[in-house]
Structure 1
Amino acid sequence: MPKLNVKQKNWLVSAHVIFAALWTGTVLSMFLLALRNQHSTDASVLQALNSAINLLDDYVVIPTAIGSLLTGTFLCWLTVWGFFKHYWVIVKWVATVALIIFGTFWLFPWANAATALSEAQRLQVLENPLYNFDAKGVLIGTIVQVACLVAVITISLLKPWGRRELKQQKPSKSATVS
């Protein structure tokens, strides 16, 4: 597969940065809504905040996380960076996949459960331990995700740790005999 030229690479990097920024900003917004939600005493506000968190997750976080993963994949595949040549690329890959797994199997279900419970039980949901667990999970999970995304973005900018030392393969005896 041919590598991207500089202009193509710059467009792809721009898309990657935009996806990462939208993902980070949206998760930060979800955190702020979850923080505000802790002090809700009005059933309509409680349900609206939970619904807003859920909508942001469904319509912004999921597509931007996937967009970030895909553009990162193409950047590794179609540029000299590669998948395993640099430690910073490997760390970004592991962190991105871990964040998507965390969001898919924990954060997303907590947000969905909190929304469903607040719709069904209105203000009485504040006495429900399952709702309190889910709401606290969204609050803590979003701040953890924001911190990790900021770390990933910082790694992208600084590119620490450098290039990996790849071991040179010794030519086999059959390749040297002609």
Structure 2
Amino acid sequence: MEKNWTISIYNKKILKIVHIIFAASMSGSLISILVILMVKENCNIPAENIFGVDLSILKIFTWGVNYVFFALALTSFIFGLFTEWGFVKYRWIIAKWIITLSMFALTWFGLGPAINGMTSISDAGLNNSAMSGEYLNFQRSAIIFSVMETIAILLVFFVSVLKPLGARKATQRIKQKTVVLIITPLIIIGIGFAAMNAIELNKIRNLHIKSMNIGSIGDGTYNGEAKAGSYVYKVKVEVKNHRIVNIEGIDNRKSPYVSYAEGVFTKIIKQQNVDVDAITGATTTSKAFMKAVENALDK
């Protein structure tokens, strides 16, 4: 007979409290994001303040939605594995998992990219009508997805409290040991990949960028490149009257983050310094571009 690992009643109460706190934090964060976005949509915020507002939204999303979502999923998994609720024993639990997975998709493919793109563009500066148009599209998308996610988490609360649909007639029960044997390796592999990716990204973000004396560089056009991860980023830098007057990316990979990161060129030209603040939301790529500009001018 298989031995079941079940947490005590006391620990189950603690787990429930933590789970509710995470759920409340996420719903509060989503509502806060939605309110700020609606205020932005209907009020004329000065251009110089837009990035500060977007950065606040990004911070709320990162800590209050993104990280909290994974914590919420973890407590849900513990509930399913180590309590009598299970994963598919009740139809309302299945409904909760479907809604939760839907929220993950909305976060990963919708709300996250919209907020990230919005913040990256405002950090680079709304310099032309094309950027302004793209920014507004991201803002409207962020509003739509935040409304959808808010409705979804309210549905989760509704299902959790009312527990509709009743028990499911299962012909065969999923063994706890089987779930552990399947999920544990997947979790270990996922953590391993995430750790390696974080180490690589951190290495790029901490690249040393030299403070160069632009006034000592002769006029001309200089090409440079820098490797970041599996990609090589190339730039063309034009110097005139001992000033950087233009920077262009050359034959780089097609990605929205590359487009956002190119906003760092405007900062370099404005400050006449290669070591500037990276573009928020495209930190890694903009850091690689800075290194490419440094390598070009260092010739």
Q: TM-score, normalised by structure 1?
A: 0.88
| 1:146 match | 150
- Percent identical pairs in the alignment equals 24
Structure 2 gaps, min length 5? 174-299
Select between 123-132 and 138-147 the one with higher mean Cα deviation. 123-132
Q: Higher strand fraction: Structure 1 or Structure 2?
A: 2
Does the alignment pair 1:23 with 2:3? no
The alignment covers a number of residue pairs equal to 169
Whichever residue aligns with residue 88 of structure 1, its letter is W
User: Aligned partners of 1:118, 1:124: CA distance in 2, in Å?
Assistant: 12
User: Aligned partners of 2:144, 2:104: CA distance in 1, in Å?
Assistant: 16
Contact map agreement 2:126 2:132 (CA 8 A) in 1: no
Contact map agreement 2:121 2:131 (CA 8 A) in 1: no
Q: Higher helix fraction: Structure 1 or Structure 2?
A: 1
Q: Tell me, what secondary structure is at the counterpart of 1:35?
A: helix
Does the alignment pair 1:161 with 2:165? yes
Q: 1:51 to 1:125 in 2, by over 3 A?
A: farther
| 2:49 match | 45
Structure 1 gaps, min length 5? 170-178
Whichever residue aligns with residue 108 of structure 2, its letter is T
Does the alignment pair 1:98 with 2:102? yes
Match of 1:107 among 93, 99, 111: 111
| 1:55 match | 59
Contact map agreement 2:29 2:60 (CA 8 A) in 1: yes
User: Aligned partners of 2:163, 2:130: CA distance in 1, in Å?
Assistant: 45
RMSD between superposed Cα atoms in Å: 1.9
Does the alignment pair 1:86 with 2:90? yes
Does the alignment pair 1:32 with 2:35? yes
